[in-house]
Structures are given as C-alpha cells and as structure tokens.
Amino acid sequence: MKVWSWYGAGEGYTVLLPVRDEDIFNDVFVADGQPKSWTTRPQVKPGIERVTKKQKPLGDLSPLAGASIIFNAKARSALESFLAPFGQFLELGLIDDTGFAGGDQPLFFYNVTNLISCIDSKSSEKDELGIVVPVFTKAAIPEDAQVFKDPLMPQSNIFLNDAAHAELEIRIDKAGLRGSSFRMIG
C-alpha cells in the first residue's frame, strides 16, 4: 500500500497569499488536523509576478500555506462529495485587484481533520524540528479510501492512500481541474 502527498497547484500556477498579515500571525491558515471555525471570512490574493508577462494563472486547486489546498467553486463542486468526510470546506474571499485570477470570487480552504497514525517514527528521517521524510507502517494504512494527516506531522502534508489517490485522479480528470499534484511517498 502506497501513501501519496497531495499538493495544491504544481509548477506553472500561482500561489495564494493572505491579504492581512495578522491572519498569518494569528495562525488563521494553520491546518493541523483540528476543526476550525472563522468568525470573519479571511481574504486571499493571487501572488503577482514582478514581470507581468510571466504571471502564472490561478489553478482550480491552489496552494496557500503549508499543508492546505484552496478550491474554487468548480473544484469544490467536483470533489466535495468525496472529500467532505475527511475535512472541512471553509469559505475564503479572493481579492483580485489585478484581474489576473478572474476577479473577486469565493474560494474554499480545505482543512483535513481525519487523523490516522501510520508513520513509523523510529524509521522516519528526522531533523531537530521533527520528521522530515516519513516512513509508513504498511499495516496501519487503511485499505478503504482515506484522505488524512498523521498526528506526528499534523501541519505537514495532506496524505492519501492508494484508493483515495485513484479516486481523486479520476474526479480531477473528469472535471478538468487544473493545478493539483501528487507525490508518492511510500
């Protein structure tokens, strides 16, 4: 059984940035496996390249910070029925003063709250901050489709088992979504 890491936009797509610095300092976008609620809808903006001719487009699935993926309405519609049991979709506002990202629109922060302990701490590569290259205990990885975080790395990586990876690839392809990438970990 393999484990995959799921990322927002890959090469060739822009990242999203918080509009308010205090959202960074107040951990608004920390995705650590715990449920979240926001009293005020946070706002994000597209990263703007210094040379406008090199501006990257906004994907349907975009990175924001750490282990989070931001969905536009099309991506949420295509993937929510599969992903909802594993986390929350929290509304964000896209502020797009430049028009590079298609104008102001609602976006959705996907917060994975499904925690599964399957990293073998003793076999994983570590540094002074913790695990940097996880090694998984194969017997602990569920066979049914799971999108999850591991309690040993809650602010890192959105993990998928083989079944979830296969299902997401099918749904992403069928909906023609742009910007998502996967990397096999083990």
This prediction has a pTM of: 0.89
Check residue 66 and give its pLDDT.
61
Average of per-residue pLDDT values in the chain: 88
pLDDT in tens, 137-173: 999 999 999 999 999 988 888 999 999 999 999 999 9
Pinpoint the alpha helices (H) of the chain.
21-25, 73-83, 162-175
Domain that holds residue 39: 3-184
Cβ atoms of residues 9 and 179 within 8 Å: yes
Check residue 130 and give its pLDDT.
85
Mean pLDDT of 9-13: 72
Up-side HSE of residue 15: CA atoms within 13 Å toward CB?
Answer: 12
Number of structural domains (the chain) is: 1
Cβ atoms of residues 137 and 55 within 8 Å: no
Check residue 136 and give its pLDDT.
93
The better pLDDT of the pair 50, 26 is held by 26
pLDDT at 11 over 80: no
The better pLDDT of the pair 186, 93 is held by 93
